[in-house]
Amino acid sequence: MTLSFPASRTNAYTGSPLDRAGHHREDAGWIAAAFTDPATLFAPVWRARSLMRGVEAGAPEGVLLGGMAAEKLRQAGGPWAFLGLWDARPVFAIDVSQEEAPPVSADAGSFTDLRAVAGLLPVGGASVLAHARGMMHWRVKHRFCGVCASALDVRSAGNALSCPGCGAQHFPRTDPAVIMLVVRGDHCLLGHSVRFPQKMYSTLAGFVEPGESLEEAVRREVMEEAGIAVGLVSYHSSQPWPFPSSIMLGFHAEGLSEAITIDRDELQDARWFSRAELRDPQGFSLPRADSIARRLLEDWMNA
């Protein structure tokens, strides 16, 4: 049995145009100059939303601000982080959530939930906005040391935090989660989660536990949620998912058994679907187009 299927497209939030330029992070002089340079670009985040234009027209694009437009962002004094260089121009993320209204002019765009439009955004722009959102979530939520509760100092241009009390170092958190399409013959296993929109069926998924390989996580999650034994596990691709701080690790997996036993705490239903049923869904819907779940399905359907 082969579990290798041709790639249909890239995953949303990948394909970043940034050079992360990590060597600049510890150069305080360079960072200070870049932060105030009119040529520098800022990706503002306001209450977990990103600045975009063209949303109402159905053609959204991310907006980065520079020059005088960026001065109001800097004056707001919120958390920030150096993201990298885009065509040699420094790019920073900056959070302005403490402002009652976003400190940007109305003609610059509007703050929109990235997940609502990600499938419509240009590839590079979606990646930069996702990077900014993930970093700002971490900066806003991690202000105190988890070891001794002291207020943390910012270092590495916002990409790390250090504790003046106990010396602990803190870095941005990314939680690995496996997401897998289980295949048995000409059918695949999909579930309807208690968290899904009505009638939507998708691949199974779950977080990797400590001391567990990715393959073990795939097998455990499928057995726990649907009672299906899994054999061969084949890596497909990954997708950053900063909602708030995950990376989705995609797999195709071989189903060794057929009878489904549902974990009702996780799933309301689970079924085997044929390729024909998925190509013409009747009475159910598939996961959103920007998700790695949809890509796992498409690549199997078109194999």
Other beta carbons within 10 Å of 202: 22
Other beta carbons within 10 Å of 230: 24
Write down the CATH number for the domain with range 175-301. 3.90.79.10
pLDDT at 194: 85
Q: Are 93 and 131 in contact (CB under 8 A)?
A: yes
pLDDT at 5: 59
Give residue-wise pLDDT tens across range 192-202.
Answer: 998 898 899 99
Other beta carbons within 10 Å of 262: 15
Residue 11 sits at the vertex; the CA angle it makes with 45 and 4, to the nearest 5 degrees, is: 155
Q: Which letter, b or e, does each residue of 162-175 get, where b requires 16 or more Cβ atoms within 10 Å of its Cβ?
A: bbeeeeeebebeee
Domain spans of the chain, in order of start: 22-141, 144-172, 175-301
Other beta carbons within 10 Å of 278: 18
The beta strands (E) that lie in 127-245 are given as 153-155, 160-162, 169-170, 175-184, 187-193, 204-207, 230-241
Q: Are 300 and 7 in contact (CB under 8 A)?
A: no
Place of tokens 């900066």: 139
Looking at domain 22-141, its CATH architecture is Alpha-Beta Complex (3.90)
Q: Which amino acid is at 106?
A: A
**Which residues of the chain are under the pLDDT cut of 50?**
1
Give residue-wise pLDDT tens across range 42-56.
Answer: 999 999 999 999 998
pLDDT at 1: 45
Other beta carbons within 10 Å of 190: 26
Give residue-wise pLDDT tens across range 2-56.
Answer: 555 555 678 989 999 999 999 999 999 999 999 999 999 999 999 999 999 999 8
pLDDT at 8: 60
Place of tokens 């036993």: 261
Same fold, 22-141 and 175-301: yes
